[in-house]
């Protein structure tokens, strides 16, 4: 639903921002929420805010989501303050509504929130240099360190079973069995690839269930553009986009970063010869993540980092293949076999990791 500036200004008036409103315009490159940058004049200075419509079609429990966000950001700011940092630059700050709530609901049923805008920082949609990738690793690792004492079990699951690979496998098998569009016969090789790795899908879930891996606060969307990079220092400053913060394993965040960031090709590359796990980038991210965690990871977690990378990549491929079998109902596609192409890149990445398994393990030991 498009909204004009006058309407957006009226929505902004529901929040406790400072200054006189001057301008509001679309901001960022996100595909889920609608995001706007509000500029206000405060004396001779300007102060900016992020106004955002939450997509309640994707996130079915906006109230629970914002309870997560407020709980985590409040905890982060306390820790940052104790460490002598700047909590308004190193963590998101939720701006309350004039009635003191963390969000508001309009008459049309849409949900809105506001944050401080973090000045003098940049987020990058793609890796422009290897240092950006390293800095994102340090930042996401530091995120884990700061939240190691947070009661992860108290968090709401904003997307239930998001990294439940046992459940993902079950949904995949159901899609194969139903074969709604008769596509299964064309992808027997891909189906068998998953079935051959069925046991892998149980590993992290079983270890979390048994307590062998600790339950932690996980971000679950560890893309580079969810890190604000300080313009002056080039250092990762603040982790943003906390909508998918949930209880889980640190290996989820680490693994998904490797899945996307250490891949030598595009996620939907048709030429699979271009797809591999770049061991240099794998090592760079591993080094940064372990450094950022500052000793908060257990020995078992560190040992299982390669499995986190493999399993998050396998899970993503399973999701793409499941969607292809079900008729492309979840992921947006731009060509008939788009999800199949995506699936194949993930499976090629998995196979390449398996071929490089010993080198990956040696890299983790080096930085541990």
Domain with 162 in it: what CATH number? 3.90.1200.10
pLDDT one digit per residue (tens) for the chain, 368 residues: 568 899 999 999 999 999 999 999 999 877 689 999 999 999 889 999 999 999 998 899 999 999 999 999 999 999 999 999 999 999 999 999 999 999 999 999 999 999 999 999 999 887 778 898 999 999 999 999 999 999 999 999 999 999 999 999 999 999 999 999 999 999 999 999 999 999 999 999 999 999 999 999 999 999 888 999 999 999 999 999 999 999 999 999 999 999 999 999 999 999 999 999 999 999 999 999 999 999 999 999 999 999 999 999 999 999 999 999 999 998 889 999 999 999 999 999 999 999 999 999 999 999 99
Tell me if 30 is assigned to some domain: yes
Residue 70 domain boundaries:
5-119
92 and 231 share one domain = no
Among candidate residues 119, 154, 186, the one where a domain is terminated: 119
252 and 151 share one domain = yes
Locate 334 and state its tokens.
């731009």
Domain count, the chain: 2
108 and 141 share one domain = no
309 and 329 share one domain = yes
Model confidence, pTM = 0.93
How far from 81 is each of 20, 54, 87, 236, CA to CA, in Å?
29, 28, 6, 17
Among candidate residues 119, 141, 166, the one where a domain is terminated: 119
**What's the CA angle centered on 321, arms 316 and 325, to 5 degrees?**
150
Q: What is the pLDDT of residues 108-142, one digit of tens each?
A: 999 999 999 999 999 988 777 889 899 999 999 99
Phi and psi of 236, rounded to 5°? -65, 125
Among candidate residues 80, 100, 119, the one where a domain is terminated: 119
| CATH number of the domain bearing residue 33 | 3.30.200.20
Beta pairing class for 45-54 and 34-42? antiparallel
236 contacts 138 by C-beta, under 8 angstroms: yes
136 and 25 share one domain = no
Model pLDDT, residue 104: 97
Distance between CA atoms of residues 357 and 106, nearest Å: 52
Model pLDDT, residue 346: 98
Model pLDDT, residue 306: 98
Tell me if 333 is assigned to some domain: yes
66 and 134 share one domain = no
Model pLDDT, residue 1: 53
44 and 183 share one domain = no
76 and 197 share one domain = no
89 and 234 share one domain = no
CB atoms within 10 A of CB 136: 28
Model pLDDT, residue 139: 97
Distance between CA atoms of residues 39 and 328, nearest Å: 40
223 and 352 share one domain = yes
Q: 87 by DSSP, 3-state: which?
A: helix
Query: Number of C-alpha atoms within 13 angstroms, CB side, residue 29?
Result: 9
Distance between CA atoms of residues 178 and 184, nearest Å: 9
């Amino acid at each position: 639903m498009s909204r004009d500036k006058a309407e957006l200004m009226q929505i902004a008036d529901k929040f406790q921002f400072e200054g006189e409103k001057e301008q509001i315009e679309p901001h960022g490159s996100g595909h889920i929420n609608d995001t706007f940058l509000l500029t206000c004049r405060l004396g001779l200075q300007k102060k900016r805010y992020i106004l955002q419509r939450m997509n309640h079609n994707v996130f079915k429990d906006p109230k629970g989501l914002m309870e997560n966000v407020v709980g985590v950001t409040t905890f982060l700011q306390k820790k940052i303050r104790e460490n002598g940092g700047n909590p308004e630059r190193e963590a998101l700050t939720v701006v309350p509504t004039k009635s003191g709530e963390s969000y508001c609901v309009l008459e049309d049923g849409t949900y809105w929130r506001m944050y401080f805008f973090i000045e003098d920082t940049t987020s990058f949609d793609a890796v422009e240099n290897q240092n950006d990738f390293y800095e994102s690793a340090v930042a996401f690792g530091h995120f884990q360190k700061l939240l190691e004492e947070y009661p992860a079990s108290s968090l709401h699951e904003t997307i239930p079973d998001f990294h439940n690979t046992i459940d993902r496998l079950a949904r995949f098998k159901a899609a194969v069995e139903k074969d709604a569009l008769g596509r299964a016969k064309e992808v027997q090789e891909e189906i068998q690839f998953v079935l051959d790795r069925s046991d892998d899908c149980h590993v992290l879930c079983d270890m979390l269930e048994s307590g062998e891996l600790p339950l932690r606060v996980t971000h679950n969307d560890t893309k580079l553009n969810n890190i604000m990079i300080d313009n002056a220092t080039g250092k990762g400053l603040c982790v943003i986009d906390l909508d998918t913060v949930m209880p889980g394993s640190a290996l989820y965040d680490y693994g998904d970063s490797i899945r996307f960031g250490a891949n030598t090709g595009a996620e939907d590359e048709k030429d699979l010869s271009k797809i591999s796990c770049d061991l240099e980038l794998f090592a760079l991210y591993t080094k940064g993540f372990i450094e950022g965690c500052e000793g908060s990871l257990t020995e078992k977690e560190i040992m299982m980092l390669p499995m986190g990378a493999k399993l998050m990549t396998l899970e993503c491929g399973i999701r793409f293949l499941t969607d292809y079998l079900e008729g492309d109902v979840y992921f947006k596609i731009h060509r008939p076999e788009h999800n199949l192409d995506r699936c194949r890149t993930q499976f090629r990445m998995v196979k390449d990791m398996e071929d490089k398994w010993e080198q990956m393990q040696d890299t983790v030991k080096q930085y541990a």
